[in-house]
């Protein structure tokens, strides 16, 4: 009897497998429709990530045979002085860009949402134009604006007997055009997100507040801002990630200079990778990914409301 049950259990496994195969064969058209996504995902995402992970433990210049070095690439990157410089630059940019990435879209979103503002459609279009403008082209224009003595901005300031300022050639000053270009390029998208959040709030809530005698200031601080909290959390996380993966702005304006004062993580990875240290670049990429994940999770948990907790 036990022998029969054992044979029955063994026979049940192939039968179950055959039933699954039959089910797949019966829905082959549905599986064929979703197959392109999985094929493209495997070719252009899963395989490159897995290969990069393997390369992060190897020393390879892109030509010769890779050589396994274990954790040496990670140890070298963590001990490199340029890594500390890059992290310090990123921290300064985070302190500048993340608050501005929340405050300015909130201000512009509230202004563009007022009912008595004329030509609102025109203003919304104008503020969104930088989003669809090439960062490289905009960076070339900003190089002319923030140029040396003959730059447009220094020329305008000279009329007020100010400057000239070394916007692109002096430490500290070089962060100003990079921050300006970044804010200019992302303000339209962030404002659109805030505007959508404002328009999704039920107008009856504001009507009830006015009936109860709430002032516009009280309405904004006690009703509008709390209801916009999910939008602001989204902008907080996205602006942090955008700052940490910044590449085009410092590459076009300063190329990481002067004296690596505007060196960012992706620009550093670009230099290391194209300098023949592909394994170090892969290791730095994974370290940056882990750092962004930790920062994003920390922001998410710190901004959760008590009701969510």
Confidence class of residue 6 from pLDDT cuts 50, 70 and 90? Answer: very low
The residues, any chain, with a CB within 8 Å of residue 87's CB and separated by 6 or more, are none
Q: What pTM, to 2 d.p., does this model score?
A: 0.83
Q: What pLDDT sits at residue 14?
A: 58
Q: Locate the domains of the chain by residue range.
A: 2-55, 74-302
Per-residue model confidence as pLDDT tens digits over 174-190: 999 999 999 999 999 99
- Write 290-298 long-range contacts (CB < 8 A, 24+): 291/244, 292/240, 292/241, 292/244, 292/245, 295/240, 295/244, 296/237, 296/240, 296/241
Nearest to 254 by CA among 176, 161, 157: 176
Share of the chain above pLDDT 70, in %: 93
Give per-residue pLDDT as tens, 238-292. 999 999 999 999 999 998 888 899 999 999 999 999 988 999 999 999 999 999 9
- Is 102 strand, coil or helix? helix
Q: Which CATH superfamily is domain 74-302 in?
A: MetI-like (1.10.3720.10)
Average pLDDT over residues 192-220: 88
Question: How many CB atoms within 10 Å of residue 309?
Answer: 6
């Amino acid at each position: 009897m036990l022998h029969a049950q054992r044979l029955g259990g063994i026979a049940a496994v192939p039968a179950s497998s055959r039933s699954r195969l039959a089910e797949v064969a019966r829905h082959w058209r549905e599986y064929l429709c979703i197959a392109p996504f999985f094929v493209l995902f495997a070719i252009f995402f899963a395989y490159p990530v897995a290969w990069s992970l393997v390369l992060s433990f190897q020393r390879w210049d892109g030509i010769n045979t890779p050589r396994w070095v274990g954790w040496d690439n990670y140890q070298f990157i963590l001990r490199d002085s340029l890594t500390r410089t890059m992290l310090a630059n990123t921290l300064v940019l985070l302190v500048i860009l993340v608050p501005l990435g929340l405050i300015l879209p909130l201000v512009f979103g509230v202004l563009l949402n007022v009912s008595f503002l004329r030509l609102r459609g025109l203003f919304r279009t104008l503020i969104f134009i930088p989003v669809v403008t090439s960062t490289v082209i905009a960076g070339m224009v900003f190089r002319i604006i923030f140029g040396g003595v003959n730059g447009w901005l220094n020329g305008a300031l000279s009329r007020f007997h100010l400057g000239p300022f070394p916007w692109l050639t002096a430490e500290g000053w070089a962060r100003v055009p990079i921050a300006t270009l970044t804010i200019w390029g992302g303000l339209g998208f962030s404002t659109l997100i805030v505007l959508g959040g404002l328009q999704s709030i039920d107008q009856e809530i504001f009507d009830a507040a006015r009936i109860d005698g709430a002032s516009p200031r009280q309405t904004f601080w006690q009703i509008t801002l709390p209801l916009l909290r999910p939008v602001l959390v989204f902008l907080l996380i996205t602006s942090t990630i955008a700052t940490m993966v910044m590449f085009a702005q410092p590459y076009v304006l300063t190329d990481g200079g002067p004296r690596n004062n505007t060196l960012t993580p992706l620009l550093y990875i670009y230099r290391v990778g194209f300098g023949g240290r592909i394994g170090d670049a892969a290791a730095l990429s994974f370290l940056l990914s882990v750092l962004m994940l930790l920062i994003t999770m920390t922001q998410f948990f710190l901004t959760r409301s008590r009701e969510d907790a």
